[in-house]
């Protein structure tokens, strides 16, 4: 495919944005004087600032290219990732888990595992998370390069290096603080830059109803065809959606993935930290009207032979992730293309910066300081954080080439999450709510959960066994296999952790005060009216979630 031509005004918009982002990094550097400033943004942010950054850190390539491409591939079922696959977990994080995280003053999720269990469990999770983060980071570099290659015509390698150098520069300068500031700017830029795609698509086709009527029934409903896997685009039973996505993958990501939880840690107090994921939940529910709708428009256009719309193909393999860039090409005039490209690049940089800032924190505290240099000074840790940022970006360049080999980055992402986040959620859940879970139980349960998930993935990929053994149906579906594999990894980790804990040494209840529900006295918002409490905000969010699911049933 030939590159889409950019006018002078398009170039100006893109270059001004890159200059602005780097300028923020240089400006905030003078406020980044301690390791807490670099890794936790000084814990000074309001719930709105932290909440927008919380969501924006998740609003990278996965959300924009991946979800639009997946909607083209699977239909409306992809909206489950936003609603049942996000909102309940975000509310649970704010109401139940954030008091433990924030009050213990930890700097990372592995830090909680050390306090609750022991050092070996912390290091195991730190290494697994660091590897996962670099794999995900490569997705953002690949997606940025795809946009630069599609719109500007740059060589693939040049596109990769330009993307990598920009992110490395502003995260290295001031760490999480610059990541959060740019994430908030990028949040609004993404909305303003991309919402016109959906509006212009509706105008071209006629209405939302006409878009849905152009699609087969398997693609235009949310739940009504979920009883029979053969009747929906994702080829999955509702049990897989509820257990695999709605429970394990969702809770595993939103409550234990340090990439997003780190933003809540930057809040100025516990109330602001609890409100962070609750406020973000409302924006998360609205995103399908930006992303899923664009995918449905692309699908409806491709079904019309007179539209001239067709996705890119690489070596005979359809590139589903090209749907959104091609819609921007179709609808945006000169000037607006620059805004659209900038919005896409902003999303990828937000995701990339989030991954790298989470990686440098976990590497510095949970691997380097706890294993390699326990006596490191604060100034040395600050230097190590900056150095690990550069190294992380370089490694991400390698993982980007692997991400490019997958037909859909969403399939790749869910596979990664099922390896690490799914079993970790079982460990965190037991650790926070059951006092007699032991350090050895947690460690070996986590090892068993992660190993079994990876072996199940390998078994399906290399045809050691049929994936129907995992999905409990005769239908072949990558996404169904991802959901069910996450569920089984969680069950294995959960079960083995309990069994080993019954026969190994327990920590005393006194040691676990502040770390386990039931052993910790909580006095949160005791004198605040109910309508001003986080619980009230969570109830409103839950009501809207139910209404949306019924509306698109």
Nearest to 94 by CA among 270, 304, 298: 270
pLDDT-derived band at 199 (thresholds 50, 70, 90) equals confident
Q: 349 is written with which tokens?
A: 């940089």
3-state SS of 447-477?
Answer: HHHHHHHHHHHHHHHCCCCCCHHHHCCCCCC
Mean pLDDT of the region 69-85: 85
Alpha-carbon distance values, 268 to 51, 306, 426 (Å): 12, 55, 29
Domain count, the chain: 1
* The pLDDT value given to residue 524: 63
Tell me which residue range forms the domain holding 364: 8-551
Cβ-proximal residues to 28 (8 Å cutoff; 6+ apart), any chain: 173, 174, 177, 178, 181
Residue 3 pLDDT grade (very low, low, confident, very high; cuts 50, 70, 90): very low
**Tell me, what's the pLDDT at 437?**
92
Residue 1 within a domain: no
pLDDT attached to residue 331: 82
**For 127-131, 470-474, 504-508, which range has the lowest pLDDT when averaged over its residues?**
470-474
pLDDT value at 468 more than 50: yes
Residue 18 neighbours by CB under 8 Å, 6+ apart: 166
Model pLDDT, residue 229: 77
Find all residues with CB under 8 Å of 481, minimum gap 6, and list them.
460, 467, 470, 471
Instruction: Confirm whether 45 is domain-assigned.
Output: yes
* Weakest mean pLDDT among 32-46, 165-179, 200-214, 472-486: 32-46
d(Cα 511, Cα 514) in Å, to the nearest integer? Answer: 9
Assess if residue 59 is contained within a domain: yes
Range of 42-51, 241-250, 527-536 with top mean pLDDT: 241-250
Q: What angle do CA 342, 64, 168 make, to 5 degrees?
A: 55
Weakest-pLDDT range from 82-91, 103-112, 418-427: 103-112
State the average pLDDT over residues 113-128. Answer: 84
**pTM of the complete model beyond 0.95:** no
Closest residue by Cα to residue 221 from 75, 36, 358, 340: 75
Tokens of 526: 């005791």
User: Is 252 a member of any domain?
Assistant: yes
For position 87, what pLDDT does the model report? 92
pLDDT score recorded for residue 88? 93
pLDDT at 361 > cutoff 80: no
Contact present, 456 and 470 (Cβ < 8 Å): yes
Q: Which of 25-39, 50-64, 282-296 has the highest mean pLDDT?
A: 282-296
- Quote the crossing angle between the two packed helices 67-74 and 409-433, to the nearest 10°: 110
Say if residue 193's pLDDT is above 50.
yes
Mean pLDDT of 396-424: 75
Most confident of 36-45, 163-172, 542-551: 542-551
Share of the chain above pLDDT 90, in %: 9
Residue 492 confidence (pLDDT): 94
Among 84-98, 207-221, 396-410, 448-462, the least confident range: 396-410
Q: Work out the average pLDDT over 95-107.
A: 72
pLDDT, position 543: 93
pLDDT of residue 408: 61
What are 299-330's pLDDT values in tens digits? 888 877 777 777 777 666 777 777 888 888 78
What's the mean pLDDT in 479-495? 87
Average pLDDT for the chain: 78
Q: Which distant-in-sequence residues (6+ apart) come within 8 Å of 247 by Cβ?
A: 487, 490
The per-residue pLDDT for range 520-531, each reduced to its tens digit, is: 666 666 667 777
Answer yes or no: is pLDDT of 499 > 90.
Answer: yes
Residue 475 lies in a domain: yes
Average pLDDT over residues 542-550: 91
> Could you give the 3-state DSSP secondary structure of residue 318?
strand
CB 135 within 8 A of CB 416: yes
- Mean of the pLDDT values across residues 457-469? 76
Q: Please report, in angstroms and rounded to a whole number, the separation of the first and last CA atoms in the chain.
A: 38
The stretch 177-190 carries a mean pLDDT of 67
For the record, the structure tokens of 290 come out as 């930006």
Task: Supply the pLDDT for residue 491.
Answer: 93
Distance of alpha carbon 46 from its chain centroid, rounded? 22
Tens-digit pLDDT profile for residues 211-247: 888 887 777 788 888 888 777 777 788 888 888 888 8
Domain-embedded: residue 173: yes
- CATH code at position 483: 1.20.1730.10
Residue 2 counted as domain residue: no
Residues 373-388 have a mean pLDDT of 77
Residue range 63-79: mean pLDDT, rounded: 81
Check if the beta carbon of residue 349 is closer than 8 Å to that of residue 167.
yes
Q: Which residue has the tokens 């029979």?
A: 228
């Amino acid at each position: 495919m030939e590159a889409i031509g950019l006018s002078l005004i398009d170039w100006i918009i893109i270059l001004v944005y890159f200059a602005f982002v780097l300028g923020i990094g240089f400006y905030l550097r003078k406020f980044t004087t301690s390791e807490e400033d670099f890794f936790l943004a000084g814990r000074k942010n309001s719930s709105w600032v932290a909440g927008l950054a919380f969501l924006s850190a998740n609003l990278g390539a996965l959300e924009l290219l991946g979800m639009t491409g997946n909607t083209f591939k699977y239909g409306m079922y992809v909206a489950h990732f936003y609603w049942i696959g996000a909102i309940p977990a975000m509310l649970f994080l704010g109401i139940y888990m954030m008091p433990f995280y924030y009050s213990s003053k930890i700097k990372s999720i592995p830090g909680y595992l050390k306090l609750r269990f022991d050092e070996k469990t912390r290091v195991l999770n730190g290494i697994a998370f660091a590897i996962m983060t670099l794999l995900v980071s490569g997705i953002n570099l690949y997606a940025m390069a795809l946009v630069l290659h599609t719109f500007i015509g740059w060589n693939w390698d040049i596109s990769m290096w330009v993307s990598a150098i920009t992110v490395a520069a502003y995260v290295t300068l001031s760490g999480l603080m610059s990541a959060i500031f740019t994430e908030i700017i990028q949040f609004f830029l993404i909305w303003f830059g991309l919402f016109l795609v959906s509006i212009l698509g509706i105008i071209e086709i006629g209405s939302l109803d006409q878009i849905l009527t152009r699609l087969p029934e398997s693609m235009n409903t949310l739940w009504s065809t979920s009883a029979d896997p053969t009747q929906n685009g994702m080829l999955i039973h509702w049990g897989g959606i509820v257990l695999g996505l709605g429970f394990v993958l969702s809770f595993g990501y939103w409550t234990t993935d340090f990439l997003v939880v780190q933003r809540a840690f930057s809040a100025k107090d516990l109330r602001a930290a609890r409100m962070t994921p609750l406020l973000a939940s409302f924006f998360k529910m609205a995103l399908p009207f930006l992303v899923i709708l664009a995918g449905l428009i692309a699908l409806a256009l491709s079904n019309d032979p007179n539209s001239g719309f067709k996705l890119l193909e690489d070596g005979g393999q359809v590139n589903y992730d090209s749907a959104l860039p091609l819609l921007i090409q179709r609808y945006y005039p000169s000037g607006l293309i620059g805004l659209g490209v900038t919005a896409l690049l902003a999303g990828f940089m937000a995701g990339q910066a989030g991954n790298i800032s989470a990686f440098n924190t976990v590497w510095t505290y949970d691997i380097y300081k706890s294993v390699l240099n326990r006596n490191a000074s604060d100034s040395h840790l600050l230097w190590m954080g900056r150095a690990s940022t550069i190294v992380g970006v370089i490694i991400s360049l390698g993982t980007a080439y692997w991400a490019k080999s997958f037909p859909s980055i969403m399939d790749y992402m869910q596979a990664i999450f099922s390896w690490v986040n799914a079993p970790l959620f079982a460990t965190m859940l037991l650790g926070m709510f059951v006092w007699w879970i032991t350090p050895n139980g947690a460690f070996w349960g986590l090892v068993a959960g992660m190993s079994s998930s990876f072996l199940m993935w390998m078994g399906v990929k290399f045809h050691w066994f049929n994936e129907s053994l995992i999905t409990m149906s005769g239908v072949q579906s990558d996404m169904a296999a991802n959901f069910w594999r996450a569920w089984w990894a969680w069950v294995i980790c959960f079960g083995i952790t309990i069994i080993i804990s019954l026969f190994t040494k327990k920590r005393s209840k006194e040691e676990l005060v502040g770390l386990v529900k039931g052993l910790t006295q909580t006095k949160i918002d005791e004198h605040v009216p109910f309508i001003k409490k986080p619980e009230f905000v969570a109830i409103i969010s839950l009501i809207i979630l139910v209404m949306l699911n019924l509306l698109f049933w």
